[in-house]
């Protein structure tokens, strides 16, 4: 059954694929010349054109050439499709890696939020700054620069402040919270 399907697709490709206007014009000229010599015997040509025989030979050659080239045309078309699929697969893998990295940044941020909430630990100000810079560096490398501005933008991410007595720690906690919210939006935007 596969054999028959294959040859049906070869025939379909042979008849649907064009050899070009030149072959079409040449075929028409030969057919017209053949009919002209058949119906008007007084027309003489430099070559012996015995009516329909030349047209049939040319038609047979064109059909044979098309059948011969059809598997090659099919191969070229399949290579184009294969290249597109590989490109889509690579893009999907890249998106997955980006989502995973963004997820790691979210986890790091949540860890920093926990350290901000625990006033018995030293302030994670330096770690928070380093985390933010690391995220911004990743965003500038893998995304557009607009993502950095969006990462830094607190709009749309209401952050309920925990009961942290130290105002600086509370502000740091809120800053990490809205940045995590933006990272989570980026993850959602990059789903397949």
Q: Is the pTM of this model over 0.85?
A: no
Number of domains in the chain: 2
What's the pLDDT at 65? 76
Q: Which residues of 91-118 are buried (b: 16+ CB within 10 A; e: fewer)?
A: eeeebeebbeebeebbebbeebbebbee
Assess whether 99 and 185 both reside in one domain: yes
Question: Which pLDDT belongs to residue 108?
Answer: 95
Residues 95 and 173 in one domain: yes
Residues of the chain with pLDDT under 70: 17-27, 30, 33-34, 37-38, 41-55, 157-162, 192
pLDDT of res. 43: 62
pLDDT given at position 23: 64
Decide: helix, strand or coil at residue 112.
helix
Q: What is the C-alpha separation between 82 and 76, in angstroms, rounded?
A: 10
pLDDT of residue 44: 60
The residue out of 34, 52, 86 marking a domain boundary is 86
Q: What is the pLDDT of residue 22?
A: 53
The answer to whether 55 and 30 have CB atoms below 8 angstroms apart is yes
| 164, 142 contact by CB (below 8 A) | no
């Amino acid at each position: 059954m596969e054999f028959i399907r294959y040859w049906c697709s070869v025939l379909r490709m042979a008849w649907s694929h064009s050899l070009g206007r030149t072959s079409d014009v040449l075929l028409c000229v030969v057919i017209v010349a053949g009919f002209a010599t058949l119906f008007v015997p007084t027309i003489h040509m430099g070559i012996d054109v015995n009516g329909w025989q030349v047209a049939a030979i040319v038609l047979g050659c064109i059909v044979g050439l098309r059948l011969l080239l059809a598997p090659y045309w099919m191969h070229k078309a399949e290579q184009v499709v294969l290249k597109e699929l590989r490109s889509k697969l690579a893009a999907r893998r890249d998106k997955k890696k980006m989502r995973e990295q963004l997820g790691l940044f979210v986890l790091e941020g949540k860890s920093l939020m926990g350290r901000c909430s625990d006033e018995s630990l030293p302030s994670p100000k330096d770690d928070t700054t380093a985390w933010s810079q690391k995220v911004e560096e990743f965003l500038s490398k893998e995304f557009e620069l607009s993502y950095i501005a969006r990462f830094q933008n607190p709009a749309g991410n209401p952050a309920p402040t925990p009961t942290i007595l130290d105002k600086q720690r509370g502000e740091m906690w809120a800053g990490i919270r809205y940045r995590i919210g933006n990272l989570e939006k980026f993850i959602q935007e990059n789903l397949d």
